[in-house]
Amino acid sequence: MAVAELFMGAFITVLFEKLASGDLIRLARSAGIYSELNKWRNTLIQIQAVLADAGQKHIRDKSVQLWLNKLQHLAYEIDDVLDDLATKAIRSQLSKESSATTSKRTTRWDYNQIDEKNLLGLNDNVERSHRPSRRLEETSLVDESKIIGREGDKESLLGKLLDNESSSSKNVNVVSIVGLGGIGKTTLAQLLCNDKKVKDNFELMAWVCISDDFDIFNISKGILQAVAGGNQDFANLNLLQVALAENLSRKRFLLVLDDVWNENYHEWELLQRPFNVGAPGSKILVTTRKTMVASMMDSIQTYPLQLLSNEDALSLFAQHASGKQNFDVNGILKSHGDDIVKKCGRLPLALRILGRLFRDKSNDDEWEALLNSEIWHLDNGSEILPALKLSYYDLSPHLKQLFAYCCLFPKDYMFEKDELILLWMAEGLLYRPNVKKSMESFGWDCFKELVSRSFLQHSNNDKSLYTMHDLMNDLAKIVAGEFFFMLHDKMDVDNKIEALEKSHHVSFIREEYEVYKI
SS3 258: strand
Cβ atoms of 294 and 196 closer than 8 Å = no
Give the DSSP letter of residue 346: T
Q: Please give the Cα distance from 5 to 481 (Å, whole number).
A: 11
DSSP-derived 3-state class of residue 180: coil
Distance (Å, whole) CA 79 – CA 397: 15
Residue 202 gets the label, from left (phi > 0), alpha (psi -120 to 50) or beta, of beta
Asked if 142 and 302 count as a contact pair (C-beta separation under 8 A), the reply is: no
- Hey, CA dihedral for 101, 105, 110, 112, is it positive or negative? positive
**Which of 110, 99, 105, 114 lies closest to 47 in space, CA to CA?**
114
Residue 415 is given by DSSP the state B
Q: Does residue 286 sit in helix, strand or coil?
A: strand
- 145 Cβ contact list (under 8 Å, min separation 6): none
Residue 234 has what DSSP assignment? -
Q: Which amino acid is at 213?
A: D
Low-confidence ranges of the chain (pLDDT < 70): 1-6, 50, 52-65, 86, 88-136, 165-169, 325-335, 360-364, 367, 369-383, 433-434, 489-496, 498-499, 510-518
| Region for 106 from its dihedrals, namely left if φ exceeds 0, alpha if ψ lies in -120 to 50, beta otherwise | alpha
Cα separation, 325 vs 54, whole angstroms = 45
Q: Which parts of 298-396 fold into alpha helices (H)?
A: 310-322, 331-344, 348-359, 364-372, 384-393
| Among the listed residues 430, 422, 394, the one whose alpha carbon sits nearest the alpha carbon of residue 259 | 394
Q: Please compute Rg for the chain using Cα positions.
A: 26
- Three-state DSSP state, 111: helix
Sign of CA dihedral 434, 290, 410, 8: negative
Quick one: pLDDT at residue 494?
64
Task: Give the residue among 395, 414, 423 at the shortest CA–CA distance from 479.
Answer: 395
Q: Tell me, what's the pLDDT at 47?
A: 75
pLDDT tens-digit map of 290-322: 999 999 999 999 999 999 998 899 889 888 877
* 281: nearest Cα among 252, 306, 304: 252
- pLDDT at position 110, please? 47
Rounded Cα distance between 124 and 427, Å, is 32
Element (H, E) at 505: strand 505-509
Cα dist. 44→51, 154, 396, 428 in Å?
Answer: 10, 51, 19, 20
